[in-house]
Protein backbone atom coordinates (compact mmCIF):
# COMPACT_ATOMS: atom_id res chain seq x y z
CA UNK A 1 0.00 0.00 0.00
CA UNK A 2 1.09 3.60 -0.53
CA UNK A 3 1.20 6.26 2.11
CA UNK A 4 0.62 9.80 0.79
CA UNK A 5 1.02 8.94 -2.86
CA UNK A 6 2.25 11.73 -5.11
CA UNK A 7 1.94 9.64 -8.26
CA UNK A 8 0.97 6.09 -9.06
CA UNK A 9 2.52 4.75 -12.26
CA UNK A 10 1.06 1.67 -13.94
CA UNK A 11 3.05 -0.03 -16.71
CA UNK A 12 1.26 -2.56 -18.92
CA UNK A 13 3.04 -4.71 -21.47
CA UNK A 14 1.36 -4.94 -24.88
CA UNK A 15 4.01 -6.91 -26.79
CA UNK A 16 3.71 -10.41 -28.24
CA UNK A 17 3.77 -12.58 -25.09
CA UNK A 18 1.31 -10.33 -23.28
CA UNK A 19 -0.96 -10.02 -26.31
CA UNK A 20 -0.99 -13.74 -27.12
CA UNK A 21 -2.08 -14.76 -23.60
CA UNK A 22 -5.09 -13.67 -21.61
CA UNK A 23 -6.30 -13.72 -18.03
CA UNK A 24 -9.59 -13.32 -16.19
CA UNK A 25 -10.24 -10.38 -13.87
CA UNK A 26 -13.09 -8.07 -12.94
CA UNK A 27 -12.81 -4.45 -14.01
CA UNK A 28 -14.82 -3.11 -11.05
CA UNK A 29 -15.35 -4.74 -7.66
CA UNK A 30 -19.13 -4.62 -8.19
CA UNK A 31 -18.93 -6.60 -11.47
CA UNK A 32 -20.59 -10.00 -11.27
CA UNK A 33 -18.25 -11.79 -13.66
CA UNK A 34 -14.61 -11.56 -14.60
CA UNK A 35 -13.74 -10.79 -18.21
CA UNK A 36 -10.83 -11.96 -20.31
CA UNK A 37 -8.01 -9.46 -21.04
CA UNK A 38 -4.81 -9.69 -23.04
CA UNK A 39 -2.08 -7.01 -22.85
CA UNK A 40 -3.81 -4.38 -25.03
CA UNK A 41 -7.19 -5.17 -23.45
CA UNK A 42 -5.71 -4.79 -19.99
CA UNK A 43 -4.23 -1.41 -20.96
CA UNK A 44 -7.63 -0.17 -22.16
CA UNK A 45 -9.39 -1.55 -19.06
CA UNK A 46 -7.03 0.12 -16.59
CA UNK A 47 -7.24 3.41 -18.49
CA UNK A 48 -11.04 3.24 -18.33
CA UNK A 49 -10.95 2.69 -14.54
CA UNK A 50 -8.62 5.68 -14.09
CA UNK A 51 -10.84 7.86 -16.30
CA UNK A 52 -14.10 6.74 -14.65
CA UNK A 53 -12.69 7.39 -11.18
CA UNK A 54 -11.21 10.73 -12.34
CA UNK A 55 -7.75 9.79 -11.07
CA UNK A 56 -5.65 11.25 -13.90
CA UNK A 57 -4.03 13.74 -11.51
CA UNK A 58 -2.51 10.96 -9.40
CA UNK A 59 -2.49 7.87 -11.62
CA UNK A 60 -0.58 7.52 -14.87
CA UNK A 61 -1.00 4.47 -17.14
CA UNK A 62 1.86 3.62 -19.52
CA UNK A 63 2.09 1.19 -22.42
CA UNK A 64 5.44 -0.59 -22.35
CA UNK A 65 7.53 -3.31 -24.02
CA UNK A 66 8.19 -6.70 -22.50
CA UNK A 67 10.03 -6.28 -19.27
CA UNK A 68 13.01 -8.12 -17.87
CA UNK A 69 11.98 -11.26 -16.04
CA UNK A 70 8.46 -11.33 -17.45
CA UNK A 71 6.92 -14.74 -16.69
CA UNK A 72 4.67 -14.50 -19.78
CA UNK A 73 1.89 -11.93 -19.62
CA UNK A 74 -0.43 -10.24 -19.33
CA UNK A 75 1.91 -8.20 -17.19
CA UNK A 76 1.18 -5.04 -15.20
CA UNK A 77 3.69 -3.30 -12.93
CA UNK A 78 2.40 -0.82 -10.37
CA UNK A 79 4.98 1.62 -9.04
CA UNK A 80 4.15 3.78 -6.04
CA UNK A 81 6.72 5.82 -4.12
CA UNK A 82 9.49 3.70 -5.72
CA UNK A 83 7.88 0.44 -4.58
CA UNK A 84 6.95 -1.93 -7.41
CA UNK A 85 4.32 -4.64 -7.39
CA UNK A 86 4.09 -6.94 -10.43
CA UNK A 87 0.77 -8.44 -11.47
CA UNK A 88 1.08 -11.26 -13.97
CA UNK A 89 -0.39 -14.42 -15.42
CA UNK A 90 0.81 -17.43 -13.44
CA UNK A 91 -0.86 -20.66 -12.35
CA UNK A 92 0.33 -20.45 -8.74
CA UNK A 93 1.23 -17.52 -6.49
CA UNK A 94 4.96 -17.09 -5.82
CA UNK A 95 4.61 -16.12 -2.18
CA UNK A 96 6.52 -12.89 -2.81
CA UNK A 97 4.85 -9.62 -1.80
CA UNK A 98 6.03 -7.91 -4.99
CA UNK A 99 4.71 -10.60 -7.39
CA UNK A 100 0.95 -11.10 -7.50
CA UNK A 101 -0.89 -13.66 -9.63
CA UNK A 102 -3.99 -12.38 -11.47
CA UNK A 103 -6.00 -15.23 -9.95
CA UNK A 104 -5.74 -13.53 -6.54
CA UNK A 105 -6.85 -10.05 -7.73
CA UNK A 106 -10.40 -9.05 -6.83
CA UNK A 107 -10.68 -6.34 -9.50
CA UNK A 108 -8.61 -3.78 -11.40
CA UNK A 109 -10.50 -1.05 -9.53
CA UNK A 110 -9.39 -2.57 -6.22
CA UNK A 111 -5.73 -2.66 -7.33
CA UNK A 112 -5.87 1.08 -8.08
CA UNK A 113 -7.77 1.84 -4.84
CA UNK A 114 -5.30 -0.09 -2.70
CA UNK A 115 -2.39 1.86 -4.15
CA UNK A 116 -3.99 5.32 -4.03
CA UNK A 117 -5.53 5.06 -0.56
| Alpha-carbon span 65 to 63, nearest angstrom | 7
Q: Where are the domains of the chain?
A: 8-116
Q: What pLDDT is attached to residue 5?
A: 56
Note the pLDDT of residue 45.
Answer: 95
Radius of gyration of the chain (CA): 13
Mean pLDDT for each consecutive 10-residue tract of the chain (117 residues)?
70 84 92 93 95 92 77 83 85 80 90 83
- b/e string for 59-98 if b means 16 or more Cβ within 10 A? bebeebebeeebeebbbbbbbbeeeebbbbbbeeeeeeee
pTM of the complete model: 0.86
Instruction: Give residue 49's pLDDT.
Output: 94
Check residue 75 and give its pLDDT: 87
- Return the pLDDT at 78: 92
Amino acid sequence: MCESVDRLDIYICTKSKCSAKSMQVKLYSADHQARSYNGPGLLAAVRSVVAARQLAATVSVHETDCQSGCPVGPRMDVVCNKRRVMYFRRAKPTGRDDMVSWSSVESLERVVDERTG
